[in-house]
Amino acid sequence: VHFELRKWLHDNVSSEVAASTRIIYGGSVNGANCKELAGQPDLDGFLVGGASLKPEFVNIIKSAAVKKSA
């Protein structure tokens, strides 16, 4: 889905807009799935809801930091 969004932006707007648009995942993000989600191409971050109130939020932050450094 994220690839298709970026492709649509490229094809219908411009390659510059496609490259500069940040695509944020707003589905369920938790300590169990954050590493897999962080590894997805064309996904630039998470919109974290209830998990941000739990100790597992540290794992979510770490998974995003690993992607950023890769």
Helix residue spans in the chain (DSSP H) = 2-12, 15-20, 34-38, 57-69
- Of 11 and 53, the structure prediction assigns the larger pLDDT to 11
Distance CA 15, CA 18 (A): 5
What is the amino acid identity at position 4? E
Evaluate if residue 15 carries a pLDDT over 90. Answer: yes
What does the pLDDT look like over 17-60, one tens digit per residue? 999 999 998 888 888 888 888 888 888 888 888 888 889 888 88
- Using the 8-state DSSP alphabet, how is residue 52 labeled? G
Q: Any residues with CB less than 8 A from the CB of 66 and at least 6 apart, and which?
A: 35, 38
